[in-house]
Structure 1
């Protein structure tokens, strides 16, 4: 396992180095500051998505599900569409970044916690009911979004279009003062509970028999997932299959149910994929393609592979 950690650490370090120095010309002070700030944003998003997906899969006892199944992506897109519909294109782009970020974070977190508080009961059946309601709300949000997009002026829709997909190139670094402490605090809490997650992965009955307050830990875990996903989504937009891609690779690499090494491997893989991929697309390909589309395509293939493998099993 130590060799795997070292190898992945080297890959992540090389990705960071490539992002910082490839194509660098001119004032190094400005380049390092500009790229370094953007690098922090990419690392924060990578870690947040990776940790949130693994915790969510543990709580739901299903490695195919991702937090986006709760309708986060659809709610985020509906929020952006509503803002453009109400404020117009000019008003939308004139919104203060910190205020818009806080609004998105508050709305996404409140919607998820409302869902948890109203449906979370004593049994695992309520968890499945919560996931089903998340799917239904996702369909509802997409339908409302489609209706508003048909009403919006075509010129204003062009302003909205850039917010409908994840963009790792236009991260607003001014939001890091809020995002970085929040993600680090959530990850620290998740790390402290990694052994509890090991027990919860055995199932509800086994966890209760081993002395775990299952309902409380489930609610705390889902709250942390909500905060991490809401932060990453508000920073870069919806990335449906990125977490699934990272978690699937991590479990194949670690081949263990212990969350400590899985979290470390997932973080390193997420950084390598996101930072390294962005370095290639920005510095080598000259932004002739979009990283988010490639990640979603690969993640979709992994999703189909996992489903087909489970069906055959």
Structure 2
């Protein structure tokens, strides 16, 4: 009985999956994708550099490309971790965080700036702007989750339903405002809403990196709790976890990660679903200590590979997010159709 009390107090499984004798076999897919990501990163840094190797111009170009790699890394971490955690909280691997209306809220925020303050506001950048945008999305998520989970009839299905309705409402308001914009204002807004890694504001990277690093450390420290939550509400409550508090915490973390990613490169609906689904397929287990690193690695390979191929083979570097979203949406349809035929 004492051991049960200790388990309920911590919510942790007794064994660490990485500490067993087969840790190398379980970690092999993760090590492989990170090795591929490292090779792709080096190729992006040095391939096609017109300056002489070792010259000052060579290193200037490398540093410029390195900033883009930083953006890719942050977006991969944000989208992969947010989607995996969202699947854990909802116990549904088909849904994406965009179902809660985060992407629609980002579009509404950008549209409102241009609509009320003109085209100059749409092109405005700076740390206050990223803090305001992220703060608005997090405040929206916190108020929504706190309200929906405060009553006795609180449940996740109601939360998802409200998120869908709010997302549709935000989208309708955004569309109405966009129809009233002048062509020049709409052009500025379209540039802001079109996701592009190459157009990311590098001034955002330091503060975004700090936010993502803190969240990643927090998530990793609670990875065993998330293993329990993935088993369902009844099992989690039976093992002593405060299920409602843990789910609300996860959803707030998802809101922060999605807001950071959207602020850097714009909304991405299916990229997280793509990398999370592939991670589930190739992971040797269902524990978050295996799925989270693998999802991040696959996200890096997807973005780095698409960036390298589209830039050096097709000369279309600006279409990276478009291709990734297309592949993610295609995989989403395949998963839906396969589940429908079972």
TM-score, normalised with respect to structure 1: 0.95
Q: Does 1:293 align with 2:322?
A: yes
Out of 16, 20, 27, which is 2:45 matched to? 20
Q: How many residues are treated as equivalent by the alignment?
A: 312
Q: Which runs of 5+ in 2 are unaligned?
A: 1-25, 52-56
- 1:159, 1:20 → 2: CA distance? 30
Deviation at 1:57, TM superposition (A): 0.3
The 5 A counterparts of 1:246-265 are 246-265=275-294
- The correspondence for 1:6, drawn from 21, 31, 51, is 31
Cα RMSD after superposing both structures: 1.6
Structure 1: segments with no counterpart, 5+ residues: none
Deviations along 1:37-94, one digit per CA (max 9) or x if unpaired, are 221111011011100100010000000111111111111111111111112113332x
* C-alpha displacement of 1:250: 0.3
In the other structure, the counterpart of 1:226 is 255
Contact 2:200-2:264 at 8 Å conserved across structures: yes
In the TM superposition, what is the alpha-carbon distance from 1:164 to its structure 2 partner?
Answer: 2.1
Indicate the residue corresponding to 1:162 in structure 2. 191
Give the 5 Å matches for 1:152-301: 152-287=181-316, 290-301=319-330
Residues 184/288 of structure 1: CA separation in 2 closer, same or farther (3 Å cut):
closer
Instruction: Kindly indicate whether the alpha-carbon contact (under 8 Å) linking 2:197 and 2:265 is maintained by their aligned counterparts in 1.
Output: yes
Secondary structure at the aligned position of 1:162 is classed as helix
Worse-matched range after superposition: 280-289 or 95-104: 280-289
Structure-2-length-normalised TM-score:
0.87
Q: Using the alignment, how far apart are the partners of 2:241 and 2:149 within structure 1?
A: 17
Check whether the contact 2:111–2:177 (CA below 8 A) recurs between aligned residues: yes
Over residues 183-233 of structure 1, what are the superposed CA-to-partner deviations in whole Å (9 max), with x where a residue is unaligned? 011011111111101111110010110111112211221121111111111
The alignment partner of 1:163 has SS state of helix
Larger CA Rg, structure 1 vs 2: 2
